[in-house]
């Protein structure tokens, strides 16, 4: 039982109800399998106040034994498990994200999606469909016997990011340098041997945008979960969690950052601003 805060009034992060309790965003059985104390300080990140209705819906998300098995063993019991893990991961990260300052989904949008998926009103059916559409989830199995190498960074433009300037046809044409937004493009988490990277929905950079994102992730040893079954499972990879969480960034101005995953007009604006030519910036992806 969580001990801290039991006697304080807790507010549900989704609906604001004041009768919330501290709930586990990750299943306690999974945390125990990974050798973690579900109520200890090292797992505090995975606990959040929820009302009973939304917690009930959240618990249902974890009742997927094949997903839990894949997380704890690295092996998928069946080919569909990779896709189910991708959905599970997106919702778990979204729930974790709204309680933190940074998230790969703009907060208001994430709250709307979460309230549909885990409705706080008893009797209201959870929304169906793929609400996290456009989100890409990557994974690898960590190999701690080798040191991780430095990774390039890839700038992306996130959908719903208020820093991305749209034209009258709702197409991305530029960016605001300062708006106080605390968005990150991606977030990474390690559970046992499994490393997960979630990248928020992006504006496309042109033909085969998703395939080129997957190639960028593959350079870090990460496999797109939607393709993992076809590719024969997850790779074992030397991993730096910090480097992987910065693999995709919303900041195109770092010298290590490749910009060919940005929409064309934003790319042109970045090139004009930095004086980089396409030869320099795009050479690695030719």
Part of the chain binding Zn ion (CB under 5 A), chosen from 74-82, 92-100, 114-122, 241-249:
114-122
From the CB of residue 196, how many other CB atoms can be counted at a distance below 10 Å? 24
Site for Zn ion (CB under 5 A): which residue of 51, 92, 110, 270? Answer: 51
Q: Which is nearer to Zn ion, 115 or 163 (CB)?
A: 115
The residue among 2, 22, 24 whose CA lies nearest residue 10 is 22
What the block records as the tokens of 235 is 């790779």
From the CB of residue 119, how many other CB atoms can be counted at a distance below 10 Å? 19
Q: Which is nearer to Zn ion, 13 or 196 (CB)?
A: 13
Q: Which is nearer to Zn ion, 15 or 188 (CB)?
A: 15
* Least separation in angstroms between CB 18 and Zn ion: 10
Sheet architecture: strand order including 153-155:
248-249, 153-155, 257-258
Q: Which is nearer to Zn ion, 92 or 217 (CB)?
A: 92
The residue among 268, 275, 254 whose CA lies nearest residue 154 is 254
Count residues binding Zn ion (CB under 5 A).
7
Q: Binding to Zn ion by residue 188, rule CB under 5 A? A: no
Binding to Zn ion in span 142-181, by CB under 5 A: none
Degrees, nearest 5: CA angle 194-45-65: 45
CA dist 239 and 236 (Å) reads 9
* Least separation in angstroms between CB 43 and Zn ion: 22
* Least separation in angstroms between CB 121 and Zn ion: 8
What the block records as the tokens of 31 is 């945390």
- x/- mask, Zn ion, residues 7-46, rule CB under 5 A, reads -----x-xx-x-----------------------------
Site for Zn ion (CB under 5 A): which residue of 54, 135, 249, 257? Answer: 54
* Least separation in angstroms between CB 90 and Zn ion: 20
Q: Binding to Zn ion by residue 95, rule CB under 5 A? A: no
What the block records as the tokens of 285 is 């992806």
Binding to Zn ion in span 253-272, by CB under 5 A: none
Q: DSSP for 175-243?
A: E-S-------SEEEEEETTEEEEEE--B---STTHHHHHHHHHHTTT-EEHHHHTTTTSPPEE---HHH
Q: Which is nearer to Zn ion, 10 or 239 (CB)?
A: 10
DSSP state of 45: G
Q: Which is nearer to Zn ion, 19 or 251 (CB)?
A: 19
Q: Binding to Zn ion by residue 120, rule CB under 5 A? A: yes
From the CB of residue 121, how many other CB atoms can be counted at a distance below 10 Å? 11
Q: Which is nearer to Zn ion, 85 or 120 (CB)?
A: 120
Binding site for Zn ion (CB under 5 A): 12, 14-15, 17, 51, 54, 120
């Amino acid at each position: 039982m969580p001990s801290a805060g039991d006697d304080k009034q807790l507010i549900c992060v989704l609906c604001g109800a004041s009768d919330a309790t501290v709930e586990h965003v990750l299943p306690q059985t999974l945390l125990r399998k990974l050798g973690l104390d579900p109520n200890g300080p090292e797992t505090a990140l995975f606990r959040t106040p929820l009302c009973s209705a939304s917690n009930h819906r959240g618990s249902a998300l974890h009742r997927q034994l094949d997903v839990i098995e894949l997380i704890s063993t690295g092996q998928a019991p069946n080919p569909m498990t990779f896709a189910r893990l991708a959905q599970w991961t997106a919702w778990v990260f979204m729930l974790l994200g709204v309680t933190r300052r940074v998230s790969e989904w703009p907060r208001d949008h994430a709250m709307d999606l979460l309230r549909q998926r885990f409705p706080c009103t008893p009797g209201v059916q959870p929304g169906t469909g793929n609400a996290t559409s456009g989100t890409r989830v990557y994974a690898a199995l960590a190999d701690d016997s080798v040191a991780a190498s430095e990774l390039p960074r890839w700038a992306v433009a996130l959908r719903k990011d208020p820093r991305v300037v749209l034209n009258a046809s709702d197409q991305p044409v530029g960016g605001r340098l300062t708006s106080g937004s605390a968005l990150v493009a991606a977030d990474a988490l390690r559970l046992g041997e499994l490393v997960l990277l979630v990248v928020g929905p992006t504006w496309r950079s042109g033909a085969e945008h998703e395939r080129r994102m997957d190639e960028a992730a593959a350079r870090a040893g990460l496999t797109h979960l939607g393709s993992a079954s076809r590719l024969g499972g997850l790779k074992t990879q030397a991993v730096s969690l910090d480097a992987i969480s910065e693999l995709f960034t919303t900041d195109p101005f770092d010298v290590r950052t490749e910009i060919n995953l940005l929409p064309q007009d934003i790319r042109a604006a970045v090139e004009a601003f930095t004086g980089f030519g396409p030869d320099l910036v795009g050479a690695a992806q030719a």
